[in-house]
């Protein structure tokens, strides 16, 4: 097949999280060639008219969509699947609807809350009433004893997130000020989520073209915080993900082996991940990040519709653990896109009987 790989336009002086995308492009292209496909590559910018012309010129059998941002803005990434859907071009991964819903973490949390998927309480700033009281989810008085983590609404890859994002404040107003203060580093919009001080797991899911719509849940991975004392917040922040020289990068270690007493928890995490796939109407491949609190209760942190699939990332590690070759997985993702054609997945109606 003629496969066109689309990715962000990444300048040479970009940050490590953006440059990592080029490693994904190289790996996917090599895998496509290895499995007998013809691969070409286009970097996408905000010039969607040019992209549309390229699609008409290239006439690919399928697009491998690796676009995470447009113009370095995560909120614009749904525009590419929208354009592909409008052109009836088959493409890998998730459709525009789940991509948009998960790109905005608040929209994703509302869907999770409405669908009984466990997600931590949060406080957000109503931008139409900025500097006025925020909307709090969870009800009741402001929990003075709670610890919060301040996050970006739209940006992913732990942008603007590190250990100092974990804060304890006495009042809602103080928390609002913390959010406001951090907005420039968070892409302009932020919120605060109750911090779950516990274990962190990544569950990678891969659709099987022989059973369209049904994911295979790859072996769950736990990120272990090695040598973290009680005073050091357990956060997979930007340094832990991207700064290889940092202590956080060296001391956050992925593991796939679990003691027997974790068997019930792992089964439960698999169930939460499968449920998230259904609720968000996911397709192709995805990764669900989950925290587990001190009572062994899981909380979904994030639904990643376009997770990193670089050879050194967690998704590829889970493939290896499952005995699936990288090239085999890329070919499987391509074949799922062909099977699905242009029918975009829609979120599951939470009110629908199951």
- Residues 177-212 as b/e (b if ≥16 CB within 10 A, e otherwise) read ebbeebbebbbebbbbbbbbebbbbbbbbbbeeeee
Helix axes 16-34, 326-340, angle to 10 degrees: 80
Q: What is the pLDDT of residue 342?
A: 45
Share of the chain above pLDDT 90, in %: 68
pTM (two decimals): 0.89
Q: What is the pLDDT of residue 139?
A: 54
Average pLDDT over residues 232-258: 91
CA distance 246 to 87: 44
Average pLDDT over residues 92-118: 95
Least confident of 55-59, 157-161, 179-183, 314-318: 157-161
Q: Decide if pLDDT at 354 tops 60.
A: no
Q: What is the pLDDT of residue 140?
A: 62
Least confident of 60-64, 119-123, 153-157: 153-157
Q: What is the pLDDT of residue 243?
A: 86
Q: What is the pLDDT of residue 340?
A: 79
Q: Decide if pLDDT at 181 tops 60.
A: yes
Average pLDDT over residues 67-95: 93
Q: What is the pLDDT of residue 218?
A: 98
pLDDT in tens, 341-353: 644 444 444 444 4
pLDDT in tens, 321-336: 999 999 999 999 999 9
Q: What is the average pLDDT value for the chain, to the nearest integer?
A: 89
Band the pLDDT of 156: cuts 50, 70, 90. Answer: confident
Q: Decide if pLDDT at 301 tops 50.
A: yes
Average pLDDT over residues 181-197: 91
Give the residue, 158 or 330, on which the prediction is more confident. 330
Share of the chain above pLDDT 70, in %: 92
Q: What is the pLDDT of residue 345?
A: 45
Q: What is the pLDDT of residue 329?
A: 97
């Amino acid at each position: 097949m003629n496969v066109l790989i689309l990715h962000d336009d990444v300048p040479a002086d970009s940050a490590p999280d953006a440059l990592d995308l080029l490693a994904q492009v190289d790996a996917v292209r090599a895998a496509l060639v290895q499995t007998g496909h013809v691969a070409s590559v286009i970097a996408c910018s905000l010039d969607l008219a040019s992209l549309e012309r390229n699609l008409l010129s290239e006439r690919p059998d399928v697009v491998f969509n690796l676009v995470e941002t447009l113009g370095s803005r995560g909120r614009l990434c749904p525009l590419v699947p929208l354009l592909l859907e409008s052109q009836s071009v088959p493409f890998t991964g998730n459709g525009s609807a789940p991509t948009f819903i998960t790109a905005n973490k608040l929209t994703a949390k509302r869907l999770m809350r409405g669908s009984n998927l466990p997600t931590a309480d949060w406080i957000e700033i109503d931008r139409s009433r900025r500097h006025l009281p925020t909307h709090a989810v969870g009800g009741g008085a402001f929990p003075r004893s709670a610890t919060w983590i301040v996050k970006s609404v739209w940006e992913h890859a732990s942008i603007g997130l590190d250990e100092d994002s974990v804060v304890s404040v006495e009042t809602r107003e103080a928390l609002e000020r913390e959010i406001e203060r951090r907005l420039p580093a968070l892409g302009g919009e932020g919120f605060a989520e109750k911090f779950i001080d516990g274990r962190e797991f990544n569950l990678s899911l891969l659709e099987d073209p022989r059973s369209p719509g049904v994911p295979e849940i790859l072996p769950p991975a736990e990120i272990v915080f090695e040598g973290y004392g009680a005073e050091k917040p357990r956060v997979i922040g930007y340094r832990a993900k991207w700064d290889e020289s940092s202590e956080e990068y060296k001391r956050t270690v992925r593991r796939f082996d679990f003691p027997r007493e974790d068997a019930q928890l792992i089964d439960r995490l698999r169930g939460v991940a499968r449920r998230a796939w259904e609720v968000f109407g996911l397709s192709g491949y995805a990764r669900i990040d989950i925290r587990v609190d001190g009572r062994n209760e899981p909380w979904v942190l994030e639904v990643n519709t376009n997770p990193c699939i670089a050879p050194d990332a967690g998704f590829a590690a889970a493939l290896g653990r499952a005995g699936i070759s990288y090239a085999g997985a890329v070919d499987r993702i391509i074949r799922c896109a062909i099977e699905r054609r242009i029918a975009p997945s829609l979120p599951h109606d939470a009110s629908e009987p199951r």
